[in-house]
Structure 1
Amino acid sequence: MSLNTLPADARPREKLLARGPASLSDPELLALLLRTGTPGRGVLQMAQEVLDSFGGIAGLLHTTADDLKRINGLRGPAKRAQLVAVLELARRALTQQLKEREVFSSPGAVKQYLQLHLAEKGHEVFAVLFLDAQNRLIAMEELFRGTLTQTSVYPREVVMRALHHHAASVVLSHNHPSGTVQPSRADEALTQTLKAALALVDVRVLDHVIVTRGDSLSMAEKGLL
């Protein structure tokens, strides 16, 4: 069943144009992208199944094209490509925002940006946001990858990349695939080690953000820097 077969007052597209996007439910918004369902399953039902499978909109934003293959109706490339493109647009919009304004004028955007990049990875990743003198984003780099519980981080490499980007400050970040957002003692020790190493080249550590699926923690806000 496609959107065109729904009653006029129940069609998401017409509802959006008449009342605005905020009037649509999550399944209705997703149905606009999917456009058609499968035999015996309407597009709104399919949209709800997709959301249920990935834990809602937040979970869907972290999926990959391969993840989407497990949904009947998304095994072909067209719809999967469309959904993944929306995710990439969200990433690029946040990147542009962070490059155009001071990072800490919108700390929520920083956390969203890092969650989009790191939260759904099945292995631990250590990343660094390199910032200019106005605290605007120069670049983000995933510098180290590890297992589910541990990443080997080399301070010398972090310092070298900061010098390469002529960074004035950095935001450190890593994910916890286990789902526990609280920093470990090892996380706190690593933060202090990197803070000391970067201070030698006059680069400030502004924060260390830990992300999990659906949650994030700023060590600066917790007074751990």
Structure 2
Amino acid sequence: MQKKLGSFSIKYWSDDDKPREKLVQKGKAILSDAELVAILIGSGSRDESAVELSKRILASVNNNLNELGKLSIKQLTQFKGIGEAKAVSIAAALELGRRRIGEDSKKITKITSSKNCYDLLQPILGELPHEEFWILYLNNANTVLRKNQLSKGGITGTLVDVRLVLKQALEYGAVALILAHNHPSGTLRASEADKKITQKLKAAAAALDIKVLDHLIITQKDYFSFADEGFM
């Protein structure tokens, strides 16, 4: 029985269709996500080309590169044709992409909006599978003096030590704070616990003439701002 054309090894394809040659001749922007992943893994298996294998991997995460970046080496090697070396190549490339986004956030030193806060912290918090609580410490000009992880928790919660937050604020000479934590579930809704800790920190900080300007809930693609929603 004749093999399907799509099952042939990439080496038998025309140069116009080979991902590497296509990138060199026409530029990286023209390649599909599957073709870019195919370049990373180099080869497929006896039953499918590298592009077909890449399409199958991407389909498993609904063609979402952010979700692909969350797959572990063990999960990637569950796909036939993906050994540890190929899995590491995929993971490394996606981590570089995540860090590239983080480079832009490093340029943000002054906070002028909730969007600034999100852009600064999303590369840190957006893709985590667990909750973390972070504090931005600001001076009079709303310039970021420090950004610190306060605590790290489970899937549904994390602890907040009010005394530690204020101790660090005094050490850094901060006059304002912005609170932030992530919701791995993607839910952009403030819980009662979120509201209570915000008010508790706001009241404690006020006694030291320190303002709590906002509290952000961060997800992979969006955020919720207490200040923007009138909860401060």
For the aligned pair, the TM-score class normalised by the smaller chain equals 0.7 to 0.9
Q: Structure 1 residue 61 and structure 2 residue 76: aligned?
A: no
CA contact (8 A) 1:62 1:116 kept: no
CA distance in 1 between counterparts of 2:12 and 2:126 reads: 38
Give the structure 2 partner of residue 37 of structure 1. Answer: 44
Q: Structure 1 residue 71 and structure 2 residue 79: aligned?
A: yes
Cα shift at 1:170 = 4.2
Structure of higher CA gyration radius: 2
Q: TM-score, normalised by structure 1?
A: 0.76
Deviations 1:140-168, CA, capped at 9 Å, x for gaps: 44322334333221111222344455555
Aligned to 1:208, the other structure's residue is in SS state: strand
Cα shift at 1:57 = 0.9
Aligned counterpart in structure 1 of residue 21 of structure 2, from 3, 14, 20? 14
**Gap change, CA 1:152 and 1:107, over 3 Å in 2:** closer
Deviates more, 1:104-113 or 1:210-219: 104-113
**Gap change, CA 1:86 and 1:220, over 3 Å in 2:** farther
Deviations 1:149-196, CA, capped at 9 Å, x for gaps: 332211112223444555554442222233322111221222232233
Deviations 1:44-67, CA, capped at 9 Å, x for gaps: 112122222234112123334344
Percent identity for Structure 1 against Structure 2? 36
CA contact (8 A) 1:149 1:176 kept: yes
Aligned counterpart in structure 2 of residue 187 of structure 1, from 181, 194, 202? 194
Cα shift at 1:204 = 4.4
Give the structure 1 partner of residue 30 of structure 2. Answer: 23
CA distance in 2 between counterparts of 1:114 and 1:11 reads: 38
**Equivalent position amino acid for 2:134 in 1:** A
**Equivalent position amino acid for 1:59 in 2:** E
**Equivalent position amino acid for 2:68 in 1:** L
Give the structure 2 partner of residue 157 of structure 1. Answer: 164
Q: TM-score, normalised by structure 2?
A: 0.74
**Gap change, CA 1:30 and 1:195, over 3 Å in 2:** farther
**Gap change, CA 1:41 and 1:185, over 3 Å in 2:** same
Give the structure 1 partner of residue 203 of structure 2. Answer: 196
Structure 1 unaligned residues grouped into runs of 5+: none
Aligned to 1:126, the other structure's residue is in SS state: strand
Structure 2 unaligned residues grouped into runs of 5+: 1-7
**Gap change, CA 1:35 and 1:198, over 3 Å in 2:** farther
Give the structure 1 partner of residue 4 of structure 2. Answer: none
CA distance in 2 between counterparts of 1:111 and 1:180 reads: 15
Aligned to 1:209, the other structure's residue is in SS state: strand
**Gap change, CA 1:72 and 1:224, over 3 Å in 2:** farther
CA contact (8 A) 2:111 2:144 kept: no
**Equivalent position amino acid for 2:48 in 1:** R
**Equivalent position amino acid for 1:218 in 2:** S
Give the structure 1 partner of residue 5 of structure 2. Answer: none
